[in-house]
Amino acid sequence: MRLIQLTDPHLSSLESVSFLSVQGKQKSGYLSWYTKRRYIHRPEILERLTQAVHDESPDQILLTGDLVHIGLEDEIIEAARWLRRLGAPEQVMLIPGNHDNYAPDSLAAMNRHWGDYLPAQDAGSSDYTAAYPVVRTTGGLRLIGVSTACVTRIFSAEGELGKAQLARLRDALIGPVSGPSGASPKRSEFTCLLIHHPPLPGMTKQRKALRDAADLQLVIEEQRPDLVLYGHIHCNRERQHREVHTFCTASASSVNNASYRVFDVEKTDDGWHCRMRLMSLDNHDGAGASFKPAGELSWIRTW
Ligand SMILES: [Fe+2]
Ligand SMILES: [Fe+2]
């Protein structure tokens, strides 16, 4: 099975949006786009990365949020066009980021335009966690996505799972177990958790952190998913926490370090073999941009 993670494409343009037409926190997000983000997140880079991802022939594309900047419906429509080119809903597993659910009306817009790619949600519900975690099983792999994309106050990029979603996540991580009688049961599936915010305490500054990271850490330590993939902080990071491998991938559209990660996961007699390959921008020559291997890691999870 080949999984590819990409994240934080921030692909929308606010070129046709007037600063005066946006409200509240969206004004600060607009200024951030105008002064900085529009120069960093480039559509031509994302286009090349999208082609490179297709050339890798992934079985599943794991997209860990922040498709847009300030959660406007027009941005969400623009992102929907790219999503359909990226892959069909059965091939793309999407979880939202804080820039997607940026304003009180963003969640409904996402459900209207990304509905095929998101778990079904009650119309009119403002609970961004109600439909999560979402679980997809394929080829012995168990892919679990959560939503941490709460609407926050101005200048905050925090996230939160909430107690109810966290309890459901724990159950989802347990999954089917197997093992010889008398031995302690072991999970037979290879389990991968997708989350937008950094999952463990201390991985980023308070203003950008997951509020309940300490609670999630307990669940991760107890249930030990094989992989935890996240985004949000726009850099490439790898960290092993006990036997759990955590990876953050840089923004898919960044002129500085656009990246994606390839995970080849295979079941053998002695356990699950996983090989990770990081692919990063080789040059940022616009339409001529290309990607080259920037890191590799292999490990086995024995039975
Ligand atoms: Fe982001
Ligand atoms: Fe984010």
Q: Which ligand is nearest to the CA of 96?
A: 2
User: 70: CA distance to ligand 2 center in Å?
Assistant: 11
Per-residue model confidence (pLDDT) at position 284: 67
What's the 135 CA to ligand 1 centre distance in angstroms? 23
C-alpha of residue 97 to centroid of ligand 2, in Å: 5
Residues lining ion ligand 2 (Cβ < 5 A) are: 66, 97-98, 232
CB atoms inside a 10 Å sphere around CB 177: 11
Q: 249: CA distance to ligand 2 center in Å?
A: 12
Residue 285 alpha carbon to ligand 2 centre in Å:
26
- Distance from Cα 47 to the centre of ligand 1, integer Å: 17
pLDDT of residue 180: 55
DSSP letters spanning the chain: -EEEEE--------TTS-GGG--THHHHHHHHIIIIIHHHB-HHHHHHHHHHHHHT--SEEEE-S--SSS--HHHHHHHHHHHHHH--TTTEEE---TTTS-STTHHHHHHHHSGGGS----TT---TTTT--EEEEETTEEEEE--------TT---B---HHHHHHHHHHHH--EE--TTSPPEE-SEEEEE-SS--STTSS-GGGSBTTHHHHHHHHHHH--SEEEE-SS-S-EEEEETTEEEEE---TTBTTT-EEEEEEEEEETTEEEEEEEEEEEEE--GGG-EEEEEEEEEEEEE-
CA distance 302 to 280: 30
Q: How far is the CA of 248 from the centre of ligand 1 (A)?
A: 11
pLDDT at 124: 80
State in Å: Cα 233 to ligand 1 middle: 6
Residue 295 C-alpha to ligand 2 middle, in angstroms?
A: 24
Q: Which ligand is nearest to the CA of 198?
A: 2
Structural domains in the chain, CATH included, are: 2-302 (3.60.21.10)
pLDDT at 139: 94
Q: What angle do CA 166, 187, 268 make, to 5 degrees?
A: 135
Tell me how far the alpha carbon of residue 225 lies from the centroid of ligand 2, in angstroms: 22
Cβ contact 248:66 at 8 Å: no
b (16+ CB within 10 A) / e for 78-98: bbbebbeebbeeeebbbbbbb
Whole-number Å distance between alpha carbons of 260 and 279: 5
CA of 260 to the centre of ligand 1 (A): 14
Intervals of the chain under pLDDT 50: 182-184
CA of residue 65 to ligand 2 center, whole Å: 7
Q: What pTM value is reported for the model?
A: 0.95
Note the pLDDT of residue 182: 47
Rounded to the nearest angstrom, the distance between the alpha carbon of 301 and the centre of ligand 1 is: 31
Q: How far is the CA of 236 from the centre of ligand 2 (A)?
A: 14
Cα(187) to ligand 1 centroid in Å equals 33
